[in-house]
A and B are shown apart, each in its own frame.
Chain A
Amino acid sequence: MANNDTPCAGTAQDRPSDCPVQPASADPAANELKTTRRDFLRAGGMLSLSSLMGTAALMTQSDDANAAVEWGEHFQKNYRLMTTEEKNEARLRLERRYSDEYGKKVAVDTTEAQPGMLMGYALNIRKCIGCRRCVHACVAENNQSRGPRPGEKIEWIQVLRMERGKFEQEKMNHGYPEGLGIQVGGNAYTPAGQVLEGQYHYNPKAVPEADATYMPIACMQCEKPPCVKVCPVRTTYREGDGPVVIDYNWCIGCKMCMNACPYWARRFNLTTPVLPKEEMNPVTHYLGNRPRMRGVVEKCHWCLQRTRHNRYPACVEVCPVGARKFGNLLDPESEVSKILERKNVFRLKAELNTFPKFFYFYD
């Protein structure tokens, strides 16, 4: 098996999906040893031995750009515990690896949260027409996997189509439950409104449809994020300016956070991500859209690589109806502050006390 992997690693950057066995690029030693950090954790006692073998493997293969997940990357600390120098080293290591892999100059930003900033998002569900441009803008910006095979296509935003609901005189005698001869309930259990139940795979010729409403859902950047509470390695956490981020290098792929998230926001890289060179966005942030590895979890981070530099998130910019609004909650002049001040807003599943910074509103 181990030998089977190597040629694929060589072609991985071109057509990773055609690789019969996917190489685990998360792991510096994977191409040679087929041993991942997840394995290390499982067999704690093996750690030192495996590391030594991994090191040896890297030293013999040091000329191969694709095996070039340097051992420094493998042994780096949790991002939050790194000193500024260590962060810089990590940044340079990654820039080198990505630039090699994607054949262009890739920048990995490490800009920190700025004081006085608390990011917030608002979405006008009255306006949304369900066109899914936000979904695909997000993919263009955030370097998600986009292969043709199952599990290779990752999208962070989901747009849910729900029925407006229709109540008819003709149905008045159809009660609940049926077939008992006695009508014990009415027929108004017809689905209607924002019930969080509907279609994700709708595909009509044109949207909006008259009998539907649309509700986009992605990470809510909770103030009390359950995903953060459950992460056993504390690789996902809330940044000072609001977004909940992931240090992909430290993620062990246990998927606890995916279970904990009540908003279906997190995605898992089941396969080695398929990201064509020409489509790769070279402006990245360490905690944001830098290319991920197989076996790690990812999710929306409000385009940290943009928003840390004051730019709107990609989904906000493409929404044709202007349903998406983004701003600084601490600034009374920002769009979101004005919306909170003037419109009726709600937080999705507020009863769970997750306190999202993503608000839905309507005119």
Chain B
Amino acid sequence: MRKLASLSVILALCGGAFYAVSAAEKAAEPAKEAAAAKTPLECFESRKGASELTQRDVKPDWPNVKCSPTTGAALWYGDPYDGTVPMGKMPGLDIAEGKAVVKPRTEKLALMPMCGVSCHNGVGPAFNPPKLPKDKKPAPVPTMEAMVPDLANFQHGRGRIWCMDCHHTTKRNMLVDHFGDPVSFDQPQLLCGKCHGDKLRDWRDGIHGKRIGEFVSTGKKRWFTCTECHNPHNVQDGARNKGFIQVQPEPSPQLPRGMANADHEKLHPIPH
């Protein structure tokens, strides 16, 4: 009873204020709904096109990942090991069983299983034994370039390396190491380390690249492999000044009360 009475008093007291507020609320509602509808349920992880996660609840009120409504990037990991497999042996790395996992790239590269059966199948006059151009200049094949657009703009090595330096000659769904042995697409580090030894050493020690999960040195970690962050074909990228491709940034911070824009930040106190 007392509560009811006090409620009505309150309503009477702040009625005016309330009307104004609820009008504003109504205006804000559709915008809010649109934003909710736009929230992507699939987000990309490091760079666009390399690996994706689909948001789902792994526990009640606990998603595996949260995606950015602005850029579609993964912004928060509820389950850092989602969709991972054991990393496999890595020379110089002695990690207990099950403590190092990676996101398999093979599934993602859906084309790969077909490469070795459809075209590069080892049959036909050009392949038996495999004959490769002596000048190590690949003949442009339109079908190939249509399937892998990066090839038309191949930059890696600036003309000093070619396809077969990284891809296995006969097993086209594999990469190749220094001994000519096939390497899985899930373990590109075994290949890239051939040339980028300093980076491999830093990656092994967790200085270069990225690991998520448990930070203690004995903990379980998901390792990001080379190609999850770098596109091996297109390694130079116009306006940037780093080894990483350009991405859209997340929104900038809120402006303080009464500040219309942040133009003052662009002015240096001493003109130049």
Q: Mark A residues whose CB is within 8 Å of B.
A: 3-4, 6-7, 15, 18, 20, 104-105, 126-127, 129-133, 135-137, 140-141, 150-153, 155, 158, 164, 171, 174, 176, 187, 189-191, 197-211, 282-283, 307, 310-312, 314, 316-322, 325-328, 331, 333-335, 338-339, 342-343, 363
Contacts and interface: CB of A to CB of B under 8 A. Distances in A.
Contacts of A199: 262, 265-266
B10 A7 contact: yes
B97 interface: no
Instruction: Say whether chain A's binding surface is mostly helix, strand, loop, or mixed.
Output: loop
Interface residues of B, number: 68
Interface in B226-264: 229, 239-242, 244, 246-258, 262
A135 B250 contact: yes
10 contacts: A4-B10, A140-B66, A198-B265, A200-B265, A307-B215, A314-B76, A317-B80, A319-B210, A321-B244, A342-B205
Given A133-B75, A201-B255, 19 more contacts: A129-B246, A131-B247, A137-B76, A164-B241, A189-B270, A191-B268, A198-B265, A200-B253, A201-B252, A202-B249, A208-B242, A208-B246, A311-B215, A312-B211, A320-B210, A320-B247, A327-B217, A334-B216, A342-B202
B13 interface: yes
A283 B242 CA distance: 36
Interface stretch (B17-25, B135-143, B189-197): B17-25
Contact of A331 (B80, B216, B239): B216
Contacts of A129: 240, 242, 244, 246-247
A50 to B, nearest CB: 21
A136 B215 contact: no
Contacts of B214: 310-312
B249 A132 contact: yes
A282 B212 CA distance: 21
A189 B258 CA distance: 32
Contact of B74 (A127, A318, A343): A318
B56 interface: no
Nearest to B50: A320
Contact of B7 (A7, A190, A310): A7
B77 to A, nearest CB: 5
Nearest to A18: B21
Nearest to A314: B76
A-B pairs with the 9 shortest C-beta distances? A322-B210, A201-B262, A150-B257, A335-B206, A206-B246, A132-B250, A153-B254, A140-B76, A333-B217
A283 B59 CA distance: 12
B252 A3 contact: no
Given A187-B272, A320-B46, A132 B207 contact: no
Contacts of B33: none
Contact of A150 (B211, B213, B217, B254): B254
A282 to B, nearest CB: 6
B233 to A, nearest CB: 19
A331 B248 CA distance: 37
